A = this chain, B = another copy of it.
Amino acid sequence: MRPDVFGGRAKCLQRLIRLKMPVPVTVALGFDAVRAIARGQMPDMAAIVFPFGDAPLLSVRPSSLDPDWGGPGAILNIGMCDALHQKLTATAGEAAATALYLRFIQTYAIQVARLNPDAFDFDGRSGLDTLGIALATFEAEMDEPFPQDPAVQLSEVLRSMARTWEGTSARLLRQAKGAPSDAGLGLVVQAMALGVGAGDSGAGVIQFVDSQTGAPRITGRYLGQSQGREAMVADGALFLTRDPRGPALEQQNPEIFAQLQAFGQIARKRLREEMQIEFTISNGALHIIDAVRVPRTVQAAVRIAVDLAQSDVIPRAEAVHRIDVQAVTALLHRQVDPTAPRDLIMRGIAASPGAAHGKLVLTAEEAQAAAMRGEAAILVRRETTPEDIRGMHAAAGVLTQRGGVTSHAAVVGRGLGVPCVVGATGLVIDRRGARVIAPDGRVIHVGEVITVDGSTGEVLAGEANLREAPLDDAFRTLLSWADASRDIGIRANADTPRDAQIARDFAAEGIGLCRTEHMFFEGERIGMMREMIFAATSGERREVLDRLLPMQRQDFVRLFEIMHGLPVCIRLFDPPLHEFLPSDRAGMRDLADGLSLPLADVIARVEALTEYNPMLGLRGVRLGITVPEIYEMQARAIFEATVAVVRGGLSVTPEIMLPLVSARREVQTVRSQIDAIASAVRAQSGVEFTYRLGVMVETPRAALRASDIAQDVAFLSFGTNDLTQMTYGLSRDDAGRFMPAYLADHVFPADPFHTLDIEGVGELLQIGAARAKQGHPSVTLSVCGEHGGNAEAIAFFRAQGFDYVSCSPFRVPVARLAAAQLAIRERYDFPSASGKYL
């Protein structure tokens, strides 16, 4: 029975029947049959009811391909009529019989006859009087008595369910959830095992693992004299296993309980999944009514998959395959407890996942001060600049008024693993008043606690309940299995020892991008940088840089030690020099004091370095060539650190990457300079070492000329952020001003800084990769932009023959999993394993 002809529920029931479970007689109507019914062509009812023989009551349940698509609700107790009421009164008692009949009349009147629900709301009343009112009301509304012929009842139910499915509102609803326009509905007609009546009768639900954790634990409820899933919500329902809170089925009916356990084992092994089973006990006999996949959190999904593989129910690769990569991302960050109340202040753009709360601060300095006091702080800025990085590092979360998902705050936030919400455009920051004003006029003062949720973009008042990120044993096991299947490397973008340690912990295979800018910003270093910028001669510049050299060398030594044995790819200095200068008058005055220069000179220098379009200006390799002393110092620091680490007995092969290259000659110019320094350090130290030189491909021109450029380097690493900016002519820092409107109007299908633009940027990547291999067949190809950790992007890079992707350390586990799934899906044809049905 194919699920795409009869739907998922029918398919699953068939499998239960084949496993010889006591499933009541079941007839499935396929999609085509239901479509015919909707058009008024009823099937041969006699043929349908024939298998049921003299079964007193039937149920009809929907069976679409994906239950999330919605559809008509199940209808039970079809066949109830005056005669059966009388009969059941004898066997099950008047109260039970009347309740059954009354409930059926209600359901039928509202769902099938489409009568006004209010008219059939008896407000909990029951009994024969109420039943009489119900029958009379039906007859009054319909001008005919309540149908007494079970065949008529059934055909009306089928017609009604088929038409509901084809109705416009149901159609729009399911298409909004991704259903195709021709999505079909199957119907499952089943003889009802009555949970009411003589002897032990009742209904319940059982599962064998915990939905939250995935750990083995029997959960569920059972309620005597009930139908369907009532037990799950009813007071007084039994627990299943012995429980201090109340009586349990295990005690009351150990035999039935043992049968259920046995069926659970069979289902787990043969359906290769943890199932939630709906059962009925009818006059002492157990019936299995339905079974669905145990609903589960991501954490539970991982545990269940790992347990199934460890008990040899599924292969390890299938366990890896089953985990939803998107959902797993949530595992890696703290989140706002979805069950706790939330006091929403406003929404911005979710820019760096995870949630955090802390006292509101408005400057990087305050954030650092709070961190020193051991207090969590949420740093709120109009936008962040490199000068804010230490404050961002110190903050528990960041909120900015401006910017998009790839603004400075967002990129740094993701890099640091700091939750971040950006583009909160309605927020007013009143620095003088030491407060912010929300769009609804609410005022929050500095020092008051707020919560930012970088996974949803929400900003909440007060300290919301958070849940910890559980990177548990099961997940680690799963990732190790993923690595066994994976065929593209995963490195991390890591600038600091802290990042490097996270990368190593998350089993990144090296550092794919170590930005060195922060090594010029921290502490007293920025002062030296400013001195260098104001130096009049190359000699003076060199003198200042010589003082920075030992600090950078030490930075590299620590990185190399943490990453020993793994490659570390260091990008040489990239930003424009003006980022190191103060932008406000007070800062310039301080600088003038510090350098003993006239303020006018400082202002003039700052103005002279200001650029119209810093992204497209004097930075990267252009600065490396124009002010060669910087790269010379960095190369020396890297090589001397290499020597130090090698002397310490560790192995290291540094990789040096040149940013913003657009022509081969740029590479050659810097290469000869760096080679000379390597030779000098080798000669001075007497230690032999090698290094690999590479280029960061960020300009369209570098991609187009990759065949040339590759001939001078060992690796090319594609920086998709900048490449996207230049391919679109779109600054990621300025995109926020119109991107929301563009996405809302579907001008762009997605934010290209978030979802790799395969059609445009992707073609340049493809061209660049192919040409690089042409020019230098053994060249290493990688990607180190924001897209590196994204599952669809990884699929693309893998298809283009890239050697590795590099992403934020926090995304390394997701990337490992996503990459493994790609390889697995290419090798095996495992069934898709999401949704409610098997």
Contact = CB atoms under 8 A, between A and B. Distances in A.
Contacts of A746: 665
A554 interface: no
A363 to B, nearest CB: 17
Contact of A612 (B615, B699, B747, B759): B615
A663 interface: yes
A149 interface: no
A68 interface: no
A700, A727, A730, A745 pick with most chain B CB within 10 angstroms:
A700
Interface string A762-798: 0110000000000000000000000000000000000
Nearest to A746: B665
Contacts of A613: 613-616, 731, 733-734
A719 to B, nearest CB: 10
Given A613-B614, A733-B613, A665 B759 contact: no
Contacts of A725: 616
A726 B729 CA distance: 6
Interface string A27-54: 0000000000000000000000000000
A452 B47 CA distance: 101
Interface in A725-765: 725-731, 733-735, 737-738, 741-742, 745-748, 757, 759-761, 763-764
A698 interface: yes
B669 A748 contact: no
Contact of A666 (B662, B734, B747): B747
Nearest to A663: B748
Contacts of A735: 617
A817 interface: no
Interface stretch (A138-146, A158-166, A618-626): A618-626
A701 interface: yes
A705 interface: yes
A730 B760 contact: no
Contacts of A737: 611, 617-618, 626
Nearest to A760: B701
B729 A615 contact: yes
B615 A614 contact: no
A747 B665 contact: yes
A169 B617 CA distance: 41
Contacts of A729: 615-616, 660, 662, 698-701, 722, 726
How many monomers of this chain does the complex have?
Answer: 2
A761 B761 CA distance: 16
A704 interface: yes
A700 B730 CA distance: 11
Interface residues of A, number: 49
Interface string A194-238: 000000000000000000000000000000000000000000000
Contact of A727 (B614, B701, B722): B701
A764 to B, nearest CB: 7
A401 to B, nearest CB: 9
Interface in A657-685: 660, 662-663, 665-666, 669
A616 B764 CA distance: 19
A759 B703 CA distance: 12
B626 A738 contact: yes
B700 A734 contact: no
Interface in A521-562: none
A660 B759 CA distance: 17
A616 B615 contact: yes
A623 B747 CA distance: 13
A616 B742 contact: no
A320 to B, nearest CB: 35
A759 B722 CA distance: 21
Contacts of A764: 700, 704
A410 to B, nearest CB: 14
A746 B760 CA distance: 31
Contacts of A700: 700, 726-727, 729, 760, 764
Interface string A631-673: 0000000000000000000000000000010110110010000
B747 A616 contact: no
A748 B748 CA distance: 35
Given A616-B616, A618-B738, A730 B669 contact: no
Given A662-B760, A729-B698, A761-B701, A734 B617 contact: yes
Nearest to A623: B738
Given A704-B760, A741-B626, A611 B734 contact: yes
A727 B726 contact: yes
10 contacts: A611-B733, A612-B615, A613-B734, A616-B728, A626-B741, A662-B727, A699-B728, A700-B760, A701-B760, A704-B760
Given A613-B614, A617-B735, A669-B745, 12 more contacts: A612-B734, A615-B729, A622-B742, A625-B741, A625-B747, A626-B738, A698-B729, A699-B727, A699-B728, A700-B727, A701-B727, A726-B729
Interface of A: 611-618, 622-623, 625-626, 660, 662-663, 665-666, 669, 698-701, 704-705, 722, 725-731, 733-735, 737-738, 741-742, 745-748, 757, 759-761, 763-764
